[in-house]
Structure 1
Amino acid sequence: MSIIRNYKLWLALVVLGVAVSGQIAIGKRSEPNSSGPSSKYFDAGRLLEDVKYLASDELEGRSPERPSIAKARDHVAKRMREAGIEPERQEFKFMPRRGKEELTGVNFIGRIAGRSKEKAGKYIVITAHYDHVGIQNGQIYNGADDNASGTAALFAIASYFKKNRPEHSLIFVALDAEEMGLQGARHFVANLPVAKEAILLNVNMDMLSRSEKGELYAAGTYHYPQFKPALEAVQKKASVKLLLGHDRPELGRDDWTFQSDHGAFHREKIPFIYFGVEDHPDYHR
């Protein structure tokens, strides 16, 4: 499993995700040599266990069309509780693109209240989808990178912020049915648990673990340049190469603006930063 070979990169990306979320939430512009979250705050073994289970054959590729998706949902709810946030089930109905029967999707929503009385009424929504494409032509597409990696990172980041509360409030959402047209994200955005105006930013994680060049992209600053200074501050001290890009319309298919769940937020004019790696041959495995 490629994600196991690249766990050091993946762990660094989790640390980076916390650093970025913390800087934006708290509003800091840290100096390059300032202290921040490091890998000592995370259990690499637990991260790997989450990915191994979510990407196991037992879960049959985590498709909402298969009964085994219930096991993935049970795991998501359990791990959110273990991270210290009580998951709220948000169920929704949708029609798959190439299906005749209506399906039920389930998002899991957890919150961490901000510690500042003045800023706790503003939210950052941190998302990762836990579904994948299931079984096709008799082959299980396990989806370790897409997106067991982001889902495991969601648990780790929630656990960190439960112990290190930021000034602003956080909403963590494990989204369903991304592979079927961003269905979970679209439902969540249409049924927000807080006022849209109270949301500062969506931080979305999708495909974090595999980059032969050790590169992570942060997309979104073309549309929302107000977040560029925070990302540039993190660039200077990141243990991986953080690049800004893949968010300009002239790039065509290489414009990632609508290619994952953050696209549903962007359509509603909710700012986003999307973390992910470029496509690779094994992203379905």
Structure 2
Amino acid sequence: MKYQFKFICLLLILGVALDFAAVAQNIDKDKLIADIEYLSSDELEGRKPLSEGNIKAQKHIRERFGSLNLTSQYSDFTQYFSFMNPRDSVQYEGAANIVGFIPGSESEYLIVITAHFDHLGVINGQIFNGADDNASGTAALLAMAEYFSVNRPKHSIMFAAVDAEEMGHQGAKALVADFPFPLEQVKLNINMDMISRNENNELYASGTFHNPKLKPVLESLEPFGQVTLKLGHDDPEMGKDDWTFSSDHAQFHLKDIPHIYFGVEDHPDYHKPTDTFENIDQDFYHQAAETVLRAVKAFDENL
């Protein structure tokens, strides 16, 4: 009888642990990994703006937003734009941001979540797959759209998969320049760019130097898994290690919109053909995405 009682207690403990894990994890890891694998596959050939692979990525994101019953202020979720690439003086016509929207339950103000889906394409016959940069942020954005599609936020949330970041944040520039609401309604931009690998299990949240009121929310987050959330890389005195203008969040910062940028420090495969799906850390990536989602939820509650 004594051993039977211990066995029953063990089963109850395991059951509670499993229930807790189910509640704690809000992102479907298998779907997250499948999305980053597809977006960084050779089929998409590095997702350079206007390429066939980039258009396939657009289609994947657009179809996911549609399946989640998101709305959009743009026809078929798509904001088309044109730009001059300053690096090669080529005019790009018909680049596209894919934008979904979930109305908030209590507030007229917005949170804008961004992640660029483009990368470098094919260079000298080699595919630059851009798994970490930035299929990782894009797949995480899709996971967050799925979460909030069934857990309505207080603030409205815009999910913007932006194009042409690698050519000077062109998609983010276009979004801010032709924003469908007064920019004063945007309370926060959360940007994800490279969140799928770090040998020290460190994920940075950059932006609190310029937006100190956001710091207590991040400091109050409970750790998730093995990820260590660190603040920094946002002090101008850091020089090249200041990330304030390193990705799409810069365009919001220039409009005096508070931002938090989630990313990892550069690794040996940054902007190389070796930034492939095989080189991401799947456990770290899932935990990093869950950490960002916890932050979004906390900001939604406390802004």
TM bin (shorter chain):
0.7 to 0.9
> Residue 250 of structure 1: CA displacement?
0.7
2:215 to 228, 244, 247: 228
1:38 to 19, 24, 30: 24
Provide the residue aligned with 2:95 in structure 1: 105
| Residue 63 (str. 1) matches residue 52 (str. 2) | no
SS in 2 for 1:111: strand
- Comparing 189-198 with 179-188, greater Cα deviation is found at 189-198
Describe the shift of the 1:210–1:269 C-alpha distance in structure 2 as closer, same or farther (beyond 3 A): same
Structure whose CA Rg is larger: 2
Cα distance per residue 1:201-234 (max 9 Å; x no partner): 0000000101110010000000000100100011
Describe the shift of the 1:36–1:199 C-alpha distance in structure 2 as closer, same or farther (beyond 3 A): farther
Provide the residue aligned with 2:200 in structure 1: 213
Cα distance per residue 1:129-174 (max 9 Å; x no partner): 0000111122100000000000000010011111111211111100
> Residue 36 of structure 1: CA displacement?
11
**Unmatched runs of 5 consecutive residues or more in structure 1:** 1-34
Q: CA RMSD in A?
A: 1.6
SS in 1 for 2:154: coil
| Residue 94 (str. 1) matches residue 80 (str. 2) | no
1:218–1:275 CA contact under 8 A, matched in 2: yes
> Residue 68 of structure 1: CA displacement?
2.6
Q: Which has the higher contact order (CA 8 A, sep 6+)?
A: 1
> Residue 282 of structure 1: CA displacement?
1.9
1:123–1:168 CA contact under 8 A, matched in 2: yes
2:44–2:52 CA contact under 8 A, matched in 1: no
Amino acid at match of 2:96: V
**TM-score, with normalisation over the residues of structure 1?**
0.83
> Residue 37 of structure 1: CA displacement?
6.4
**TM-score, with normalisation over the residues of structure 2?**
0.78
Q: How many residues align?
A: 246
| Residue 74 (str. 1) matches residue 59 (str. 2) | yes
Measure, in 1, the Cα distance between the counterparts of 2:86 and 2:23: 41
Amino acid at match of 2:239: G
Bigger share in helix: 2
2:87–2:167 CA contact under 8 A, matched in 1: no
Provide the residue aligned with 1:166 in structure 2: 153
| Residue 268 (str. 1) matches residue 268 (str. 2) | no
Cα distance per residue 1:47-103 (max 9 Å; x no partner): 111111110111110001523321111111112223331452100001112335421
2:37 to 41, 52, 55: 52
